Amino acid sequence: MRTLSKRRVVPVLVAAAFLAVFLLAFSSGMQHYERPMQLTPTANERSRRSLSSVGRKLLDHAAEETNRIGERCSKDDIRLYQGATTPLPNGIPTYTVEILNVCVSGCAISGIHLSCGWFSSARMINPTIFKRLRYNDCLVNDGKALSNGGSISFQYANTFRYPLSVSSVTCY
């Protein structure tokens, strides 16, 4: 009887050990996949840099800022955010886009053009808010000024998210 119980217990213990190792390996591997891809350096990577390279980067950044002293604004003063929202009833994903004027010198920015590829939407977008003029050229707010601190938003529906970015602006 004792031999029979060992025959039953050993495979169960081996299976349990295999399952435990598999779950441990799987959960440690999932930590890698759960983290979103980071385009900016992590805190550990930043701390590994030498002081001289950080100093050079600060000087480079300071030089960029001093070059902007005579300018009222630039395309960097327009921020664009987009994120997924509730899909349409037929299942097509939707995205909300928000475009902000973050100019600190109180400037109004007009003629905001975005790089937008062959942008299209299954949901109608008010053309005075956003429209594609031609390939990779979309116009925001019908070319009218977006005041300092102002924002404009719209939703579009497509099977994938378009990579939108500011291509040009007109400063006042």
Closest CA to 121 of 149, 93, 144, 148: 93
In a domain, 144, yes or no: yes
Q: How far is CA 41 from the centre of its chain?
A: 15
Query: Among 24-28, 67-71, 145-149, 153-157, whose mean pLDDT is lowest?
Result: 24-28
Q: Can you tell me the distance from the alpha carbon of 89 to that of 69, in angstroms, rounded to the nearest whole number?
A: 50
The CATH number of whichever domain residue 124 belongs to comes to 2.60.40
Kindly report, residue by residue over 121-134, the tens digit of the pLDDT: 999 999 999 999 99
Query: Among 13-17, 23-27, 115-119, 141-145, whose mean pLDDT is lowest?
Result: 23-27
CB atoms within 10 A of CB 118: 9
Range of the domain at 144: 73-171
Looking at the fold, whether 8 and 30 belong to one and the same domain comes out as yes
Looking at the fold, whether 59 and 116 belong to one and the same domain comes out as no
What burial class does residue 104 get, using C-beta atoms within 10 Å of its C-beta: 0-12 exposed, 13-18 middle, 19+ buried?
Answer: exposed
Number of domains the chain is built from: 2
Q: How confident is the model at residue 117 (pLDDT cuts 50, 70, 90)?
A: very high
Q: What is the pTM of this model?
A: 0.59
